[in-house]
Amino acid sequence: MSTRDLLIEIGTEELPPKALEGLSDSLEKSLVEQFQAQKLSLGRVQRFASPRRLAVLIEKLGEAQQDRERTRFGPAIKAAFDDLGAPTPAALGFARSCGVEIDQLARVEKDGVEKLSFSINDKGRATKELIPGILENALSRLQIPKRMRWGSSRTEFVRPLHWLVILFGKETIETEILGVRSGNCTRGHRSHKNEDLPLVEPTDYELVLEQQGKVIARFDKRRDMIRDQVEREATALGAVAVIDEPLLEEVTSLVEFPVALTGSFDEGFLAVPQEALILTMKSHQKCFHLADAEGRLLPKFVAIANIQSNDLQQVITGNERVIRPRLADAQFFFDTDQDKPLVARKEDLDKLIFQEKLGTVLDKCKRVGQLAEQIAHKTPANPSHCMRAAELAKCDLLTNMVGEFAELQGLMGSYYAANDGEAPEVAQAIYEQYLPRFSGDDLPASETGAVLAVADKLDTIVGLFGINQPPTGSKDPFALRRSAIGILRIIIERQIELDLESVIHTSVETFPNGHLAKGTAGNVFDFVLERLRAWYVDEGISSEEFQSVFALRPTRPLDFHRRIQAVHAFALMPEAQSLAASNKRVANILSKKGSTKSFPSPDESLMLEDAERALFFAMADIEMELTPLIVQGDYQKGLALLATLKPVIDVFFDGVLVMAEVESVRANRFALLAELQSLFLKFADISYLSNS
C-alpha cells in the first residue's frame, strides 16, 4: 500500500513551560494510538515542541485503511428452515437485516453448528478523511493543567491558537479545529521571522524552521544546545557550570533559538548563603550559576536569551540590571532575619497549624523533642543536642527568607542557628531533619541530625495514622510513604541499633492520652515495615527472600536488613533448595499438630533409628556454635552453618517414618522436627524459598 508523510503542527501563544514536554508527549502518543487503532501502517514518528508550537511528524503513514471482510452469523439451519424447507421468520429477518434475499445467504459451520451467514466487504477509508477527527480527538484528550478561552469564542485550549498545519505528503488537509483553518504554512521566530513559512513536504519542517525561521523545533536538540553553550561559557572563564536538570528543562521550554550569555553581579552578595543566591537566580531569572573547582559560587551567571542580538553586551547588561535587585532582596532578608535569634520565634509557632486535629507546629516541636530525647538515649547521640535541635527545628518557617523561598526551610535555620552561637551539631541537625528528601538523596551526616530526622518523620506518620488519615491508593498528601522509607534508610544505612516498634510506642505516648485511635502503633509498624518490600525488590532481593524474613517480623530494621542479606546469600548456595523444601515439609507436618510451643524437648531414649539420633546430635552441636553468631547478628555465617545439616536431614527423611505407630515415638519425632524448625527460624523462615 502507498504511504505519505504526515506533519501536524499546532501554533499557539507561549505555552506553559513546565507543561510543554508533557503536552508534546501526550499529543504524539494519542495520534499514534489512534492511527494504529484505525489499522493504518506508519513508520518513524518524531515530535517537536517549542514555546509557540507542538508538532508531530509521522513518516510513511498508509494512505488508506485496508479493505476488511467481516462475516455476520444468523440462526442455525435447523431454526432457519421448517420441515418443508421453507425459511422461518428468523431466517427472513436475518436476510432483511443484511439487505439481501434468502438465496444470497451462505451456510457455514460455527462452534460445531451449521448456521446462515453473510459476508460483508468493508472498504477502508482514506487516511485524509480520518486525520481531522483523529487530531480533534487527540487535542481534546491532552492533559492540560488549566484551559483558557480567547476572544468571543467558547473554544477552550491550553493557549490561543494562531495557526494550524496539516500536511499529508504535498497535500494540505483542509479543516477547521478550535476556530483555526488549517494550511501548509508554519511560522518563524516571534522576533526574528514572525511570518508565514510555506512547507512543501512534511520532512522539510525542521530544516525550514531552523534555516529560515530561526527556530530550533526539536526539544532535545535545543536542550543539548543550551547545555553545550553554558558549558562553553564556563570553560572560557575557567569555571564549572552547575546545570540543574529541572532548570535546563524549563529554560528549553522558554526559548526557540537559545543564545547563552554570561553576566556578573557584585561580589558583596556572596556574603549571603550561596543556596539563597542560587535559588534567587534560578527562580526569578532562570539563570545557571558558575562555581570554582571547590564548588564555591562565583559572582557570575549564564542567562539564555531567545534572540541572536547584534549588541550582546546590551542584552547582558539588561540581565545584570534585572538580577541585581533580586539578589539585593535576598541580602535584605538574610540581614533582617538575623536581627533576632532563632529561638525568639519559637512561641510564634503556636500560630501555625500543623494539622487541624494534631495541633500547631509548636505542639509538633514539643512532641518531636520528647521523642528525639528518648531515641538519643538508645544511640550515641547527645540527648540535650537532640532536644535543642527539635526546639529550634521549625523556627525558620517564620523568617523572611523561608517566606520567600519555602525550599530553603531547614537550610536557613541551620545558618541562623550557627549565627546565634548554637552548638555545631544542633545547627547541622536543623538542616538535616528533612533528609532524605527524595529517593537517593543524602542522609543526615550527624548523630543529632539522624535522630531528629527519624523523630520528625515518625511523629507525622503516627499522628496521621492516629487520626485515621493514612495514605490511600495513590493519594499520599503528607508523603508518608517517602517519610517511612527515609526512616528505614537512616536506621539501616547509618547502622543504628534501634527497635522501631518500641520507638513507635514512645511516639504514641507523646500525644495526649486518648487523642489517637486504638491500634495506631501496630498499624504504623506494619506500614513502615511494608515499605521495605519495594526497597529490597529494587536491590534485587526476590519477594520469596523478603517474605522469609518478613514472616518473623523483626522489630529492628538493621536486624531485618542483616537477615535479608544473609538469606540472599543463602539462596545462592547449592543446598538452599533442598533445605527450603525440607523446612516446608517440616512446617506442613507440624501445622497438623498445632503450635510448636506444645512440643517438649526431644528425648534421646525414645529415638529408635540411627538417622534421628544423628540429626539430634548434629543439631545439638550446631546450636552451641549458632548462639554467639545470633548475638553478633552474623546471620550469614549462621545460615551457612545450618546448611551443613543437609546430609543428616536428607537421611532422616529418607529413613525415618515420622508418623510412627507408637504414640510416644511419634510425638518425640514431632518434637525433633519442631526443634529443627526453631533453629532455622532464629534466622528466617526459609520454607518460603522452596519452589516445590
Domain harbouring 600, CATH code: 1.10.730.10
Number of Cβ within 10 Å of residue 542's Cβ equals 15
Quote the domain boundaries for residue 49.
Answer: 3-65+126-211
- 416, 399 contact by CB (below 8 A): yes
305 and 439 share a domain?
no
Please give the Cα distance from 332 to 339 (Å, whole number): 11
Q: What is the pLDDT of residue 413?
A: 97
494 and 360 share a domain?
yes
470 and 605 share a domain?
no
Q: Which three cell numbers stand for residue 214?
A: 530561526
Spatial neighbors of 103 by CB under 8 A, at least 6 apart, are none
Please give the Cα distance from 371 to 366 (Å, whole number): 9
Query: Considering Cα of 23, then 26, then 28, then 31, what sign does the dihedral take?
Result: negative
Q: What is the pLDDT of residue 667?
A: 87
| Location of C-alpha cell 520532512 | 203
Q: What is the pLDDT of residue 82?
A: 85
- 510, 374 contact by CB (below 8 A): no
61 and 74 share a domain?
no
652 and 596 share a domain?
yes
Strands 148-149 and 156-157: antiparallel
Q: For residue 656, tell me if it sits in a domain.
A: yes
Indicate which CATH number applies to the domain containing 400. Answer: 1.10.3210
**DSSP notation for 404-439:** H-GGGTTHHHHHHHHHTT--HHHHHHHHHTT---ST
178 and 104 share a domain?
no
Q: For residue 410, tell me if it sits in a domain.
A: yes
Number of Cβ within 10 Å of residue 532's Cβ equals 21
Please give the Cα distance from 56 to 517 (Å, whole number): 55
- Of the three residues 154, 185, 211, the one that is the final residue of a domain is 211
Angle subtended at Cα 337 by Cα 333 and Cα 343, rounded to the nearest 5 degrees: 155
The H-or-E segment that residue 329 falls in is helix 312-337
Q: For residue 547, tell me if it sits in a domain.
A: no
34 and 108 share a domain?
no
For the stretch 121-141, what's the b/e string if a residue is b when 16 or more beta carbons lie within 10 angstroms of its beta carbon? eeebeebbebbbebbeebbee
> Which stretches of the chain score pLDDT less than 70?
1, 594-598, 692
Chain centroid, CA 466 distance in Å? 26
Q: What is the pLDDT of residue 583?
A: 87
Spatial neighbors of 439 by CB under 8 A, at least 6 apart, are 482, 485
- 462, 507 contact by CB (below 8 A): yes
- Model confidence, pTM: 0.79
Please give the Cα distance from 485 to 467 (Å, whole number): 21
Please give the Cα distance from 436 to 455 (Å, whole number): 13
147 and 237 share a domain?
no
183 and 241 share a domain?
no
385 and 468 share a domain?
yes
Quick one: which of 483, 512, 469 has its CA closest to 367? Answer: 512
Quick one: which of 382, 386, 390, 440 has its CA closest to 410? Answer: 390
Instruction: Work out how many domains the chain is built from and give that number.
Output: 5
Number of Cβ within 10 Å of residue 439's Cβ equals 11
Q: For residue 557, tell me if it sits in a domain.
A: no
Q: What is the pLDDT of residue 1?
A: 66
Q: Which three cell numbers stand for residue 187?
A: 511560522
- Of the three residues 283, 317, 337, the one that is the final residue of a domain is 337
Q: For residue 546, tell me if it sits in a domain.
A: no
Please give the Cα distance from 206 to 59 (Å, whole number): 14
Number of Cβ within 10 Å of residue 411's Cβ equals 21
Q: For residue 483, tell me if it sits in a domain.
A: yes
For the stretch 315-345, what's the b/e string if a residue is b when 16 or more beta carbons lie within 10 angstroms of its beta carbon? bbeebbeebeebbbbbbebbeebeeebbeeb
133 and 84 share a domain?
no
Q: What is the C-alpha end-to-end distance of the chain, expressed in Å?
A: 53
Q: For residue 149, tell me if it sits in a domain.
A: yes
Quick one: which of 53, 420, 401, 8 has its CA closest to 219? Answer: 53
150 and 161 share a domain?
yes
Strands 185-187 and 288-291: unpaired
Residue 152, Cβ density class (10 Å: 0-12 exposed, 13-18 middle, ≥19 buried): exposed
- Of the three residues 122, 156, 190, the one that is the final residue of a domain is 122
Please give the Cα distance from 498 to 376 (Å, whole number): 10
Please give the Cα distance from 21 to 18 (Å, whole number): 7
Q: For residue 135, tell me if it sits in a domain.
A: yes
